[in-house]
Copies of this chain bind each other. A is one copy, B any other.
Amino acid sequence: MKGFGSDNHSGVHPEIMKYMLIANLEHAPSYGTDVWSEQLTEKIRQDFGSRTEIFLVFNGTAANVLAMKACVKSFQSILCSDVSHLNVDECGAPEFFTGAKLIPIRSFHGKISVSEMEKAMIRRGDQHFSQVSAVSITQPTEMGTCYSLEEIQEISQWCKSKGLYLHIDGARLANAAYYLKTDMATVCRGADIVSIGGTKNGLMMGEAILVLNPSLAIDFKYIRKQGAQLPSKTRFIAASFLTYLSNDLWQRIAEHSCTMAQTLHKNLKEIPGLEITDPCQSNAVFVKIPKDLIKDLKKHFFFYVWNEETYQCRLMTSWDTQIEEIENFSDLLKKKLGAKSETSSHPLS
């Protein structure tokens, strides 16, 4: 059953699968020494700058925590949004891999601001206090919103002024680039290290860690290997990313996903009895749905209840979401709410 559960419920995009099959035709050396990996590095340097280093890993948690490990020592700490994947969805992997402390920052629609982070920058040089060394932001955020380019610049400049590294968790980075009407390199400007997601954007698996600050790349191959994230048949992830980044595929996928979400958002906004909770700036719609409808709705379309108390639900679109699914879901919801409203408006009948 298709639905709006997550963009990782989709399969592999056919263009990517095609190149995985091509990559399978011959023998290839392992551990990143294959031609696909070389071409990917070349492509990345064209797009993101000639000093960029790219390290492929298997999944998003790995991309985030290994990036963090490059940025902090165990006695340091990381500022991140209180709702970030890093803070609430990685089973303590950041603390485990780095030994460091996460300091959750109060977020607004998933975003954190310099003013909130400023409050956490206390006790610099005090040996009793874990010293902040890095900031991690998610772009787009876990709530489907995007930092504007100006906001990222403000955060980046603040980080530089404080001597902090800036990490972007870009599990769906392409969607932010699409929303901000720019390319991914521009979205990354000002960051030191970026996790670029593949799995949620049409790949079978694989994430890319982009090291934009060369000093963070020096030891990274060892960090990756010791972190059990060095793929042996690297070519398959490399070929996937190469395909994804070429011929505007990343953009076509982002455009489709985001357009589907916007359509869904537009539809739901017009249905009385629903409450949209966050701006729709990527491929997610967050909406409060009356509790008694959820169970039945989920029989037709899978999705997650995000907040078990408020019945805020998360609806994700994907590269293969069909307009018919959007319309069918909207219609079903409208119908159910209509029925409900009719019932409740005739309490005496």
Contacts and interface: CB of A to CB of B under 8 A. Distances in A.
Given A127-B91, A231-B58, A302 B29 contact: yes
Interface of A, secondary structure class, is loop
A92 B65 contact: no
B205 A232 contact: yes
Nearest to A307: B122
Given A29-B9, A102-B101, A225 B90 contact: yes
Contact of A27 (B10, B61, B236): B10
B95 A232 contact: no
A93 B128 CA distance: 10
A205 B75 contact: no
Nearest to A1: B27
Interface stretch (A18-26, A154-162, A175-183, A269-277): A18-26
Contacts of A11: 23-28, 233
A183 B20 CA distance: 32
Residue among A11, A95, A200 with the highest chain B CB neighbour number at 10 A: A95
Interface string A57-75: 0111110011000000111
Given A9-B29, A24-B12, A204-B236, A130 B61 contact: no
B31 A3 contact: no
A219 B8 contact: no
B91 A233 contact: no
Contact of A2 (B27, B65, B92): B27
Number of copies: 4
B58 A129 contact: no
Contact of A97 (B3, B228, B233): B228
Given A91-B128, A205-B232, A75 B225 contact: yes
Contacts of A28: 9, 11
Interface string A36-76: 00000000000000000000001111100110000001111
Interface of A: 1-3, 5-6, 8-12, 17, 20-21, 23-31, 58-62, 65-66, 73-77, 88-93, 95-97, 99-102, 122, 127-131, 199-200, 204-205, 219, 221-233, 236, 302, 308, 320
28 contacts: A1-B27, A2-B26, A3-B27, A5-B30, A8-B233, A9-B28, A11-B28, A11-B233, A12-B24, A12-B236, A29-B302, A58-B228, A59-B232, A62-B228, A73-B222, A74-B92, A74-B96, A75-B223, A75-B226, A90-B228, A92-B130, A92-B226, A93-B227, A96-B100, A127-B224, A128-B225, A199-B232, A228-B228
